[in-house]
Chains A and B, each alone.
Chain A
Amino acid sequence: MNYPVWLLDVFGGGTLIALIAVVHVYVAHFAVGGGLFLVFTEMKGLREESPAILEYTRKHARFFLLLTMVFGGLTGVAIWFTIALLSPAGTSSLIHTFVFAWAIEWVFFLGEIVALLLYYYKFNKISSKNHLILGWIYFACAWLSLFVINGVIDYMLTPGEWLNNQNFWSGFFNPTFWPALFFRTFLALMIAGLFGFLTSVNIKDDVMRHKMVRYCGLWLMIPLVLLLASAVWYKAALPLPQQEMIFTKSPEMKPFLSGFIFISPLLFAGGLLMAAFRPQAVTRSVAVVLFLLGFLYMGCFEFMREGGRRPYIIHDYMYSTSILKADLEDVQKKGVLQSSRWVKNRIITPENRMDAGAELNMILCLPCHSTGGPLNDMIPIARRFTPEGMEAFLLGIGNANPYMPPFAGTSAEATVLAEYLTTVLVPGFTSVEPEIQPLFVVPAPFSAESSEYVLLAGATLGTILYSEPEESGIDLSYGAPVIRAQLIFRDESPSVILDGAVVRYSIKTGDGDVKGEMEAKDGYFEATLGEIPRPVQPYQPFFIAEISAEVDGTIVAATQAKIGVSTEIGCRNCHGGSWRQDGRSGMSRATASGILALHDKWSNTNLSDDFNKGKTVVCSSCHADYSRATEGQPGLLSLSTAIHGYHAGFISSDNSCVLCHSSSDTGASHSFDGIHKQLELLCSDCHGTLPDHAASLLKQEKDKGQAQKLLSLVQNKVQMDIVEINPRASWIMEPDCLTCHVDFQPPETDTAFNSWTEDEAGLFHNRVGEGGAVLCSSCHGQPHSLYPADNRYGKRIGALQPMQYQDNPYPIAANEGCAVCHTTEMADEMHHPGSLATFRNQE
């Protein structure tokens, strides 16, 4: 905000500081532990009256001098230079808080230099007593400089009371100061042993070499045990957020944790190996391996310590983006571009959108992400997203992925940054709205004068989402379509015919013709397709089913019904991959792979393995799914709850439903095409926003799986007070039409959220009118496609039966059209109040 940002790509993402700092710290710990090593070894030489040991000490001191003074000292300065370049604001804050700590450290640094120079250059030239005094003074200065820098580093992770009182001593002697000091001291002694191996394996005399190698082994192994004990203390001293960040909430930390745990016994074993084996070839190789392992060990620890601090540079005080936590709200209101000094594009215009996006990327993303580099590379991440997906992801960031800071900009800045990241930084994403070829269907014949029967039919659900598991490798689909039909004998007092009639269906699908006979149930005919048929190509998000009814062998009625099956599942908005067909539909293997990779990362599964071996991963095999009639695995949330519950934590957008469901206005399915859509109702008006929707599902299963954790992630995002959200079982407890249409009247409200049907009997597709015989859906159409449905594929595609029977697209018998079934006008609103009223939303 305050400072310019250094534009790095491959070397971004903290690569520079990681390299320089881990290298320095390895040598610097040697500079501390090695000081004690020199003194002890010299004392050993004096005690055993061994000139050979003293000579080894002198040579080791020379190695020590050349390494720590030059390389160690200068890389330490390099850290200072690097942090000021990568985070000037953070460095300025540290310098101004701890200037005198660093000034004190400088005094110890000066003492170290003088002591070490005198120690080496006066080796064998002054009395042993005085020489040892010099050595001890060196070690004291070295350890004290560790003492000081330890305070500052631990403050960054656990500032403690400093956050409240800004007191230097509160910040310096912070919650992890003491355990870290012990930890680093033991680490320094271990490292002294590791570096000691490097020199001792080169002693020519066999006996002396073995003796000194074993001696160095003690330096490695004994402090290692103490180190592990202090590691336990260190972990316990961490406040909960930092602890969670390292150990549970940040999947990226796992390799470093594993590394540290795995290398510990390796180092110990290495020490034993060195003690046991005499041949120089063996010990030389093992010494080098141990030296490298030590470096990796150090690296794992430092990565964990740094990672635990995310998303802050100074925990709970300053984010890694240099924005102060206290300022975040103001910046979000004012905008990042307005709040920063080193910005050229303060106001977003149509001409400078991508330049503004580039500047937002520099300020908000580059402090932690590299572009094409080894650490935190943005490119594979950005590549997964479409602009819409990225925008929703950015607005919701920092919640389910707490190692990220909350988005600091305005929503306009989120849009621009999302577009920049997904179209410029990772060029190649082009959004092409598919051209939709209209479909013409000639309705089946019907004569108001002569036809004896009316056949009303349709699927129970407006659209089934189908993930084409054979092609994509993932089965995320709903249950197969269920088609229902009611055959009505036309008469002044009509009857719903079940006995003696045979109702058949024939559907042209992408798999060819699917035919069958429907079964007579309690009040209607029903057929459940064996499996979900593939869509017709070129892509159509529905089939036109030809339904026919036979009585006594003669076809007495026929009609067409739109059976919605869409493969436009929007996972690719965030999970990568492209549409499999024509840039408009079909889940690809790449997308499935992306989904499973994240599932493995966040839920500790191994689904990618199965997927890569060619198996199809069936989500409902683990997560119970009512629509697929699966029980799932015990202890796991049902599929709808898991999927909504999880995503609610990650994304934030006004209309997030269209990111996944096939109702995007720029997509190829337009599955939400009924009267409510035309009246500009949103999904959330009935179903709630994603967080609210998720909360209602999670509360129903609140004792299962990760429900509590997921509830905690949505509780700040829900629009309604979470306490007031009523639990609902997926698929069964749905919004109730009568919540808005009280007593079937024109709506009193436009929000149906939070009032659920009690059970399946209350679902729209299972209900009948007050007359008791006719299904609501027979006259009104399918959920989400209620008559008059105006579909992009054809103005009347969504109203085939109304057009067939009454030559208008409105609900059957609308505008006093009772004659469709009753053959004559009727005076009584028998089916439901208002059924004789004029349809309010005429075209």
Chain B
Amino acid sequence: MDAVQLIPTPDILQVPWGWFQGLLTVTFFLHLLVMNILLGCSLITFFRHVAGKNTDVNKAIAKKLPITVAFAVNFGVAPLLFVQVIYGHFMYASSVLMAIYWLSIFVILIFSYYSTYIYSMNFDKIVDFHTILTGFIAGTLLAVTFIFTTNFSLMTNIAAWPEYFNNPEGTLLNLSDPSFYPRFLHSVFGAVAVGGMAIALFYDFKKRKGENGADDGIAIGMNWFAGATMLNFGIGSWYWGSLPEYVRELGGAGSAFFLIFIFLGIVAAIFSLIYGMRHEVRPAVYYLLAALFCMVLVREFARRLTLAPWFKTSDLEVVAQYSPLIVFLVVFAGGLGVIYYMIRLVLTDKGARS
């Protein structure tokens, strides 16, 4: 069975693919950021509970977890939408192959999400259950990570697709792909790193407001960040090595960008690490954001290079209809304006019911 003939025919675009790629990149970056904070902080608070360390760091995480889930999910919707426009013909196929796992995500997330509310709203009352509860939260989020990693690696692993004929019941995974485990671990350790940085940033704000004990919080956050990042250099190399040779070698379309952004991302991560270990939070954050953004671009180029033998986004047919895009951009700008207005409204409010 020649797997290439299984690749579905894509549908027509309304505007050139670059628009969708751009929107995908930006919204995925935002999702990655929030999702990393969510997963990372869940893992950090769990390990802290396991180690018997229960301080205001845990409580601060607990209070923020539900809202982080809300935004992680919301920011996940947009890139999932845009990736389906330009890569849907790969993604729908891989989704069907692993259908049961893919569909279980929303069930897992419902349990996970409600658990964060239990953790948040009853933090002081359920001291005895902190470890189990956060273990459950972290575990369910890791399961979701696993499933997402499976789908997005399977969607480009065409060679695995014919396995469908042995099992069309939606229970295929992508464990035989050499890049699967390093990809998964890279995501998890990256999340822990970002989670640690988020904790550090949170306490940096407190420090600037003059609150006591903020330095401890910064230290805790930065320790996690640094440890995870150092390990991630190793995992990243493993990941790099596990990619198909034709993706790694120079010469493919976009391969130069691929290598450049890997290089820039690593450099930014190193700078972030250095500032982080020195507890200089703001520069560490900026470099981390830069590193993340580079890695988002690396991800996009890796996908392009992997699929290049069979598909290029420039192959996608366009029958132009710009008005929906324009209306979206207007609504988006308006929406951001309304959000800005609401936040300002609350921040400038004189307080309490009048």
Q: A residues within 8 Å of B by Cβ? A: 2-8, 16, 54, 66, 69-71, 73-75, 77-78, 80-82, 84-85, 88, 91-93, 95-97, 99-104, 106-111, 113-115, 117-118, 122, 124-131, 133-134, 137, 141, 166-169, 341-342, 344, 362
Contacts and interface: CB of A to CB of B under 8 A. Distances in A.
Given A3-B92, A74-B73, A128-B354, A85 B345 contact: no
Nearest to B105: A81
Closest 4 CB pairs of A and B: A88-B92, A100-B324, A107-B335, A78-B106
Contacts of B14: 96-97, 99-100, 168
B22 to A, nearest CB: 13
Contacts of B9: 2
B77 A85 contact: no
Residue among A69, A108, A141, A166 having the largest count of chain B Cβ atoms under 10 Å: A69
Contact of B96 (A3, A73, A95, A167): A3
B351 A125 contact: yes
Given A117-B70, A341-B5, A130 B349 contact: yes
Contacts of B117: 66, 70
B338 interface: yes
B73 A73 contact: yes
Nearest to A140: B338
A127 B84 CA distance: 43
Given A75-B106, A78-B103, A108-B335, A127 B92 contact: no
Contact of A84 (B95, B319, B350): B95
Given A4-B93, A77-B73, A168 B323 contact: yes
B165 A344 contact: yes
A125 to B, nearest CB: 6
Given A95-B81, A114-B342, A341-B8, 19 more contacts: A3-B96, A6-B99, A7-B170, A74-B73, A74-B109, A74-B110, A74-B113, A77-B106, A84-B95, A100-B325, A108-B335, A110-B339, A115-B342, A118-B343, A125-B352, A128-B354, A134-B342, A141-B338, A344-B165
Interface string B311-354: 00000000101011101100110110011001101100111111
Interface of B: 1, 5-14, 20, 23, 67, 70-71, 73-74, 77-78, 80-82, 84-85, 88-89, 92-93, 95-97, 99, 102-103, 105-106, 109-110, 113-114, 117, 164-165, 168-170, 319, 321, 323-325, 327-328, 331-332, 334-335, 338-339, 342-343, 345-346, 349-354
Nearest to B339: A114
A80 to B, nearest CB: 8
A74 B106 contact: yes
Chain A contact residues: helix, strand, loop or mixed: helix
A131 B351 CA distance: 10
A271 B260 CA distance: 67
B71 A4 contact: no
B4 to A, nearest CB: 10
B67 A99 contact: no
Contact of B88 (A75, A92, A107): A92
B338 A137 contact: yes
Nearest to A103: B328
Given A96-B13, A168-B321, A110 B1 contact: no
A97 to B, nearest CB: 8
Residue among A5, A66, A104, A107 having the largest count of chain B Cβ atoms under 10 Å: A107
Contacts of A4: 6, 93, 96-97, 164, 168
Nearest to B326: A100
Given A6-B96, A107-B332, A117 B67 contact: yes
A22 B202 CA distance: 41
A102 B23 CA distance: 13
B113 A103 contact: no
18 contacts: A2-B89, A7-B169, A66-B117, A85-B96, A85-B170, A92-B84, A92-B89, A99-B324, A100-B14, A100-B325, A100-B328, A103-B328, A114-B339, A118-B346, A126-B346, A127-B354, A128-B354, A134-B346
B319 A166 contact: yes
Contacts of B169: 6-8
Contacts of B352: 124-127
Given A77-B106, A88-B92, A110 B335 contact: yes
A130 B346 contact: yes
A113 B77 contact: no
Nearest to B6: A341
A126 to B, nearest CB: 4
Contacts of A137: 338, 342
Nearest to A73: B73
